Amino acid sequence: MDLRPDALDGPRADALFCHCRAGFEPELAAELTARAALLGHAGYARTERDSGFVQFISDTAPALARALPFAELVFARQKLLRLAELSALDPSDRIAPILAALEGAAVRRDGQPPFGELQVEHPDSDASRPLSGLARSFGNALRPALRKAGWLSARDVPHRPRLHVVFLDGKHALLARSHPGDSAPWPGGIPRLRMHHEAPSRSALKLEEALAVLMDADERRELLRDGLTGADLGAAPGGWTWVMLRKGLHMTAIDNGPLRGHLFDTGRLEHLRADGFRWHPPQPLDWMVCDMVEQPRRVAERMATWFHEGWCRQAIFNLKLPMKKRWDETRLCLDLFEAQAGRPLHIRARQLYHDREEITVFARPR
């Protein structure tokens, strides 16, 4: 897949736009600032508390977008490259200014429409949620206009860049683009999941989302299949155990509390009443999952021990964050986990839509 964004970078591409959980804008701003500095890019983060997004303004935004993969970001749900800002849209005709802005952004065309998909979205915040109806209706109106003007493919083309229109209010929108190989496929970066009636708890949605967001399709086929083994530390009432059982695994649930009775119907579940911070398997497992409520550094250290001792091949676990300096604590815990694991690992961490004051981490051997 061609990840080169240069064919879409124009002189107006001067910022990264990232969606995030409302209330975590300072954490995302701190992360973008720190990562940009490490990569040698100057710039500054601009946001407002509870807005649900951060813009990182930089004269080298296109180069920064190439150097900073979306998969490495923790607090961003989506990463876009801003092409234009439209701050005085006339509700009677929002389409013409967008077509003009595309021309002004110097987006090059190679004989084919440069965009394979359109996403019209809004930040996930209390103030912006009333814009959902506008986003849906405007997308239906804008697509044919873009296709007629030669900007958008006649049908969705997954490997071509996406065009994004992000409404901040009815008269204020941003024009941005993303590449399918370096962004989330869902509008706003939010996968739409439904609570299954058999799920023991809503925490099951966190693990379902983690499997969709932190793993690619090949990893899911390889690592989530019948016959593999796993353990769920702090399992009760069994939400994460239930997800892994549905993937075909044989699971050991570790918790002094009770599990939902129907989990045992598969015949592939053993429940041990034990302390998740003390128990370890008698032989190596394919998986370990953990959503225990505990200090994040203590969890990170225990997860590292599982890898250091070879008790599991891959793991997904949550780190509950403090109320202050959450980016600093995130960076400390991830560095601690990687250093103490004692082996090379692929580590991906993200604050998921179904997470709250926490992040979810996926780790597997390199």
Active site residues: 320
Q: Concatenate the DSSP letters of all residues of 293-346 into one string.
A: -S-HHHHHHHHHHHHHTTSEEEEEEEEE--SS-HHHHHHHHHHHHHHHH-S-EE
Cα distance between residue 263 and residue 290, in whole Å: 17
Q: Is 191 annotated as a binding residue?
A: no
Q: Which amino acid is at 229?
A: T
Beta carbons within 10 angstroms of residue 250's beta carbon: 19
Contact 137, 91 (CB under 8 A): no
Rounded distance, CA 48 to CA 257, Å?
A: 42
237 labelled binding-site residue: yes
291 marked as binding residue: yes
Does 5 carry a binding-site annotation?
no
- Site of tokens 């697509």: 143
Contact yes or no for 305/340 (Cβ under 8 A): yes
Is 275 a known ligand-binding residue? yes
Residue 364: other Cβ atoms inside 10 A: 20
- Answer yes or no: is 236 a known binding residue: yes
Q: Is 201 annotated as a binding residue?
A: no
Q: Is 344 annotated as a binding residue?
A: no
Residues of the binding site for S-adenosyl-L-methionine: 203, 236-239, 255, 275, 291
